[in-house]
Amino acid sequence: MTNSDAVLVARDVTRAYHMGEEPVHAVRGVSLEITPGDYVAIVGPSGCGKSTMLNLLGGIDRPTSGALFVNGVRVDRLSDAEATRFRLHHIGFVFQRFYLMPALTAIENVELPMAEAKVARHQRLTRARELLAYVGLAARRDHRPTQLSGGEQQRVAIARALANKPSIILADEPTGELDAKTGQEMIKLLAGVNGDGTTIVVVTHDEDLARAARRVVHMRDGLVVDDRRQDAP
Amino acid sequence: MLLRLAWAALTRHRARTLLAMLGVAVSAAMLLDMVMLSSGMRESFKNLLLSRGFQLRVAPKGTLPFDTDATIPGASALVARIRSDGDVTAVSPVLGGQLHVVLAARTVTAAAIGVEPAVQGDYEITHGREPAGPNEMVASADFLAASRLALGDTLSAAAGYDPQLRSLTGRRTLRIVGVAHFIYMPAGQRAVALPLATLQSMEGASAGDRVSLMMIRARSGANVDSVLARLQRALPSVSVISTASAMRQVDDRLSYFRQLALILGAVSLVVGFLLVTTLVTVSVNERLGEIVIMRAIGVARTRVVAQIVLEGVAIMLVGTVAGLGLGLITARYLNSILASFPGLPAAIDFFLFQPRDAWIALGMLAVAGVLAAVYPSWRGASLPIALTLREEAIG
């Protein structure tokens, strides 16, 4: 039974690929529903399939079988161009390695998805400034990624993810490259983003980050082995 | 934003980008030179033939003008016959020969042409005037320099040398009344022109009423091919050649040049193509992470491709513009070497810049640049996002 309110729905999703000659079953029949405004942490040991699951939910990978719905749209059946367009407007990504465009300044990195969405220059400049202020980097907007610390780069990446006002943020190990103090700041920032109504799904090994989520999904060997709600910290 | 990203990619490895641009410039220069070479001599020859408005030439049967020492006998009657054609406005008979000018301690030899000054199309007077009397002549500046004679001087000249008697023959006293630039003569050639009858008389019985060539100017608006056909029918003992048919014969003789130019031009194009492909491929491989992240956050594949192609186009454009200058400089240098080839008219250029051909060649190079960038950029933008990110993360 599918919750009609769910923003993310996975139905018996599998993902298999080959590593050399060996077939790898990264996800083996996962079903999941995530409701709007939820904060979900997917945890589990390395190689359990959690990043693959996140990529599937974000439409940057396709399941071998099963069905994936995001905001009611079956994303696994979208063409490449449709999926790209869908991601632009509905999903924000945050990666462990930040992956900012090194040639662009912080504000230009935030503008990039808006430019692609054909937001007028004046509007996107205003929003980019607001977002950088929101993540605490108003004073660093004209700096390039190489002039920013890891924490600052990840903040810019979060601002970029929020640029087109997506309903969902998918974050893959967002604190993985940060020191403990900066990681805590990032956890607070993500909690704030979630508090503003954005659904967040994080894949993490970071126990503190997992504790910040309202729901924790445990995966092992490509399967969900535990899925429970927890009290907000 | 795309421009910024493309510019940043190009400036990330400045030395490499500059080297690629230099490579394209060399390639473009070579392509331009080959295009200039393939058509330059032909067009230059055509311009030369048409420079004085004579569209038809009459040469001894089976030859090109001045291709051999053969002459046309009975020239007066032929000239009269040709002039009687209603579409012919001028006929300029020309006899080629040599003039030996006897000076105090030496003899200076010059190429001589006998012409009818009123209708001649072989030279342009730069100082003085046309010969008006039978014992007047015009000379090239090179002749005057070699003989140390000047405008207004009188000289003793002969048209031949009798080896048995060991004496000059056909001697005549002539007065220099003009200095002329001889259109069909090689650079540095000592040349003189005198009335046709005077040169025929100096050359003796062998040149009596003979000419080497007749140049014919048709009436404006006349169908030159029809005039040619009519004259050829009326004068079967000679070859009547239009500029077009002369060009066809020149084309046959220059086919080697064109083939060589075509092959080398194609090689330049391929080299330019490979240079850009290599550079763009390396550049794409270096930033696969960036490319797939752009795709992940929703940048369309076509826009990612456009950005990378833009880099290839920029390399090609800068290289091509630099190649244009480089090509013109090298063409000028090579032309100066080839133009000193003995016997070639000074007005002939091996490398002739023709804007249309040049733009076509350079346009082809620019298109090659775009095509060269399309494949690696499309490949980069089509990589599976999740898999590539995983591989990037593994390093």
Backbone φ/ψ region at B53: left (φ over 0), alpha (ψ -120 to 50), beta: left
Task: Read off the DSSP letter of residue A230.
Answer: -
Set of chain B residues whose Cβ sits within 8 Å of the Cβ of A113 = 297-299
B317 and B371 part of one domain: yes
Cβ distance of A99 and B289 shorter than 8 Å:
yes
Quick one: which of A30, A29, A54, A28 has its CA closest to A41? A54
**pLDDT value at B2 more than 90:** no
Dump pLDDT digits (tens) for A7-18.
999 999 999 988
Q: A158-205, pLDDT tens digit by residue?
A: 999 999 999 999 999 999 888 888 899 989 999 999 999 999 999 999
Tokens for B34? 């080959």
Average pLDDT over residues B157-161: 86
How far B257 CA sits from the closest chain A CA (Å)?
49
Asked whether residue B101 falls in the same domain as residue B170, the answer is yes
Confidence category of residue B103, pLDDT binned at 50, 70, 90: confident
Rounded CA gap, B102 and B115, in Å?
A: 22
Decide if pLDDT at B74 tops 90: no
Whether residue B343 sits in one domain with residue B263: yes
The better pLDDT of the pair B70, B229 is held by B229
Mean pLDDT of A111-115: 95
User: Are residues B67 and B44 located together in one domain of the fold?
Assistant: no
From chain B, the residues in CB contact with A97 under 8 A are 289, 392-393
Residues of B in contact with A95 (CB under 8 A): 293, 389
By mean pLDDT, which of B131-145, B153-167, B243-257 is the weakest? B243-257
| CB–CB contact B298 A85 (8 Å) | yes
- Mutate which of A80, A112, A121 to test chain B, going by most B C-beta atoms within 10 A? A112
> Per the domain annotation, does B12 fall within a domain?
yes
Confidence (pLDDT) at B31? 86
pLDDT (tens digit per residue) in B366-383: 888 888 889 999 999 999
Element of type H or E holding B358: helix B355-381
Q: Are the Cβ atoms of B293 and A99 closer than 8 angstroms?
A: yes
Give the number of domains in chain B: 2
- pLDDT of A124 reads 94
A99–B1 C-beta distance less than 8 A: no
Residues of A in contact with B386 (CB under 8 A): 52, 55, 60-61
pLDDT score of B390: 82
- Pick the residue from chain B with its C-alpha nearest to A110: B297
Residues B139 and B273 in one domain: no
Q: Is B152 within the bounds of a domain? A: yes
Domain total for chain A? 1
pLDDT of residue A232: 62
A132: in domain: yes
Residue B16 contacts residue B177 (beta carbons within 8 Å): no
Domain extent at residue B28:
2-48+253-394
Chain B residues with CB inside 8 Å of A117's CB? 298
Residue A2, pLDDT > 60, answer no
**Residue A3 included in any domain:** no
| In a domain? residue B204 | yes
Report the run of H or E that residue B144 belongs to, with start and end. helix B141-147
Same-domain status, B43 and B79: no
A180-183's contacts with Cβ under 8 Å and 24+ in sequence apart are: A182/A149, A182/A150, A182/A151, A182/A154, A183/A208, A183/A209
- pLDDT for A105 beyond 50: yes
> Tokens at residue A120, please?
């007028």
Give the gap in angstroms from C-alpha B382 to the nearest C-alpha of chain A: 9
ipTM of the complex: 0.92
Whether A113 sits inside 8 A of B293 (CB atoms) is no
Residues from chain A that touch B295, judged by Cβ atoms under 8 A, are 60, 84
Question: At A89, which CATH number?
Answer: 3.40.50.300
My answer on whether B332 and B376 are in the same domain is: yes
Q: pLDDT class for B177, splitting at 50, 70, 90?
A: very high
What is the count of residue pairs from A and B with beta carbons less than 8 Å apart?
A: 84
Across the interface, which of B4, B12, B299 has its CB nearest the CB of A104? B4
Identify the pLDDT of residue A59: 93
Q: Which residue of B7, B298, B389 is in closest CB contact with A87?
A: B298
Quote the percentage of chain B above a pLDDT of 90: 33
Given this model, what pLDDT does residue B63 score?
Answer: 66
Is A85 within the bounds of a domain?
A: yes
* Digit-coded pLDDT (tens) for A129-153: 999 999 999 999 999 999 999 999 9
* Mutation site, A85, A99, A131, interface B, largest B CB count within 10 A: A99
- Are B385 and A164 in contact (CB < 8 Å)? no
Which residues in chain A are closer than 8 Å to B381, comparing Cβ atoms? none
B162 shares its domain with B265: no
Interchain proximity B300–A116, CB inside 8 Å: yes
Residue B247 lies in a domain: no
Residue A1: predicted pLDDT? 41
pLDDT bucket at B168, cuts 50 / 70 / 90: confident
pLDDT tens figures, B194-214? 999 999 999 886 667 899 999
What pLDDT, on the 0 to 100 scale, is given for residue B67? 60
Which residue from A80, A93, A102 is facing B297, i.e. has the nearest CB? A93
pLDDT for res A21: 80
Contact A93 B296 (CB under 8 A): yes
- At CB < 8 Å, which residues of chain B contact A? 1, 4-5, 7-9, 12, 289-290, 293-301, 303, 384-387, 389-390, 392-393
Query: What value does the mean pLDDT of chain A take?
Result: 92
Task: Give the per-residue pLDDT at B220.
Answer: 87
Distance CA B201, CA B171 (A): 10
| Per-range mean pLDDT, top range of A219-228, B51-60, B104-113 | A219-228
Please indicate, yes or no, if residue A1 is contained in any of the structural domains.
Answer: no
User: Same domain for B193 and B297?
Assistant: no
Taking the C-alpha atoms of residue A176 and residue B236, their distance in angstroms, rounded to an integer, is 97
For residue B208, the model assigns a pLDDT of 79
Nearest to B5 among A60, A61, A101 (CB): A101
Percentage of chain A with pLDDT > 90?
81
Tell me what pLDDT residue B207 has. Answer: 63
Q: Is A115 within a domain? A: yes
| Three-class secondary structure of residue A90 per DSSP | helix
CB atoms within 10 A of CB B292: 24
Return mean pLDDT, chain B: 86
Tell me the average pLDDT across B255-281.
85
Contact A103 B8 (CB under 8 A): yes
Check whether A27 has a pLDDT greater than 80.
yes
Domain termination site, one of B186, B202, B236: B236
Question: Measuring CA to CA, how many Å separate B102 from each of B109, B150, B178, B188, B206?
Answer: 9, 15, 19, 20, 22
How many angstroms separate the CA atoms of B42 and B203, rounded?
34
Percent of chain B's residues with pLDDT above 70: 96
Mean pLDDT of A70-77: 93
In a domain, B217, yes or no: yes
User: In this structure, is residue B248 part of a structural domain?
Assistant: no
pLDDT at A35 over 60: yes
Q: Which of the residues A18, A68, A110, A116 would you substitute to probe the B interface, choosing the one with the greatest number of B C-beta atoms within 10 Å?
A: A116
Integer Cα distance of A46 and A204 in angstroms: 10
Domain match, B23 and B99 both: no
Last residue of a domain, which of B236, B270, B289? B236
Cα angle for residues A60, B304, A144 (degrees, 5° grid): 90
**Which residues on adjacent β-strands are paired with residue B90?**
B217
Mean pLDDT in residue range B316-340: 88
pLDDT at B119 over 80: yes
Q: In sequence order, what DSSP letters do the residues of B222-290 get, joined into one string?
A: --HHHHHHHHHHH-TTEEEEEHHHHHHHHHHHTHHHHHHHHHHHHHHHHHHHHHHHHHHHHHHHHTHHH
Tokens of B361: 């060649």
Confidence at B192, pLDDT banded by 50, 70, 90: very high
Query: Could you tell me which residues are beta bridge partners of residue B115?
Result: B94, B195
Contacts of B294 in chain A (CB under 8 A): 101, 112
User: Over 80: is that where the pLDDT of B253 sits?
Assistant: no
B375 and B259 fall within a common domain: yes
Q: Is the pLDDT of residue B145 over 90?
A: yes
Q: Residue A141's domain spans which residues?
A: 8-229
Q: Chain A partners of B297 at a C-beta cutoff of 8 Å?
A: 87-88, 92-93, 112-113, 116, 160-161
Closest-CA residue of A relative to B10 is A103
In angstroms, rounded to a whole number, what is the distance separating the alpha carbons of residues B33 and B118?
40
Residue A185 DSSP class:
H
Contact B300 A160 (CB under 8 A): no
A197 inside domain = yes
Is A82 within the bounds of a domain?
Answer: yes
What does the pLDDT average to over B231-241?
Answer: 89
Which of the pair, A215 or B348, is modelled with greater confidence?
Answer: A215
Q: Residue B395 pLDDT > 60, yes or no?
A: no
**B124-133 mean pLDDT:** 94
A91-94 and B213-218 beta bridge pairing: unpaired
Assigned token pair, B285: 């491989």
Closest-CA distance of chain B to residue A231, Å: 32
DSSP assignment string, B329-350 = HHHHHHHHHHTTSTT--TT--S
DSSP B219: P
Task: Work out whether strand B213-218 and strand B88-102 pair parallel, antiparallel, or are unpaired.
Answer: antiparallel
| A60, A81, A84: residue with CB nearest B386 | A60
- For an interface test with A, which of B293, B297, B304 has the most A Cβ atoms less than 10 Å from its Cβ? B297
The reply to whether A2 falls in a domain is no
pLDDT number for residue A231: 76
Residue B330 domain-assigned?
Answer: yes
- Is B301 close to A115, i.e. CB distance below 8 A? no
Q: What is the DSSP string of B75-103?
A: HHHHHHHHHTSTTEEEEEEEEEEEEEEE-
Q: Mean of the pLDDT values across residues B151-166?
A: 86
Q: Do A116 and B385 touch (CB under 8 A)?
A: no
Same domain, B277 and B227: no
